[in-house]
Structure 1
């Protein structure tokens, strides 16, 4: 796992305190989305690893990103590896 430069994540349009980007938090979220659509654990971990790599590269080009930006980029990357999980990940607030 590569070292990630400090990236500020702006939460809820600035209404909540800004926090540092945490790859593990994103990984857990992607992994959970894959498992929620009955993906095998190994495939879920692999998809989460790949998505996190893509999102980190995207984030490193920016000084600050919103949590919505991260969710959109992660869903876009996940759609390549697991479209059903990507849909669930992107729309989980409406589904739950």
Structure 2
């Protein structure tokens, strides 16, 4: 016997505003039953003495430390720009004044 009934799937479909046919309700009831069975098996394996973790192995930060370094001068940064104005890249306007 299925743990999820056809009526329960129909109720979930109504709550989700999904229009499902009779064959889809039967098909989804079987699939949801398999999913619930798989979750139940996972819950059986979980032990009380094992702390919850997000990763199987501990992670360490692999980023380098921030260093202050001289940046590119504006004239070199804008040298290949199609348009520049006041030491900035000039781009086409995409928003109206009202936005």
TM beyond 0.5: no
TM-score w.r.t. the length of structure 2 is 0.32
* RCO higher in structure (CA 8 A, sep ≥6): 1
More helix by share: 1
Higher Rg? 2
TM-score w.r.t. the length of structure 1 is 0.33
